[in-house]
Amino acid sequence: MAEKKQIKENYWLGLGRRKTAVARVKLTKGSGQFIINGKEVASPSRVYLEPLKIAGLEKKFNVEAQTSGGGIQAQAEALRLGIARALVNSENELKTTLKKEKYLTRDPRMKERKKPGLKGARRAPQWQKR
């Protein structure tokens, strides 16, 4: 019977949401590699790099993330929140720095639901005088 090798990998998880987008982030010590939805990103976007830049850790962590729902921008902002939360899990001292920059705040704005009798959330049917 072969012995199983147990690899103990240190990683930190963070979950970010924005509108209907969800990003599950796994942060590991590394060289700054970004893998999003199974694909390596050569030049990461400015939007989701911000928490790492503020902490001065761009080249110290590898980021592996799964994103779903929403659009490109909402996914990027969800990823930013997920990275910030994972950073706080790794080093609790970063919480005050990231909170000051508002990277730990979930944006509550969502699409308003359609109401009965209306064309959309607020758009009323066209009014006709005669």
CATH classification of the domain holding 19: 3.30.230.10
Q: Sort 108 into a burial class: Cβ within 10 Å, 0-12 / 13-18 / 19+.
A: exposed
pTM: 0.84
Please tell me the predicted confidence (pLDDT) of residue 117: 95
- Count how many domains the chain has: 1
Over 90: is that where the pLDDT of 113 sits? Answer: yes
* Both tokens assigned to 94: 């970063």
Please tell me the predicted confidence (pLDDT) of residue 43: 76
Residue 127 lies in a domain: no
Residue 125 lies in a domain: no
Residue 40 lies in a domain: yes
Residue 120 lies in a domain: no
pLDDT tens column, 4-31:
555 567 889 999 999 999 999 999 998 8
> Is the distance from CB of 15 to CB of 24 less than 8 angstroms?
yes
Helix, strand, coil abundance in the chain, percent, nearest 5: 30, 25, 50
User: Could you give the CA distance from residue 102 to residue 9 in angstroms, rounded to a whole number?
Assistant: 30
Residue 3 lies in a domain: no
Residue 43 lies in a domain: yes
Please tell me the predicted confidence (pLDDT) of residue 56: 87
- Please give the residue range of the domain that contains residue 92: 11-100
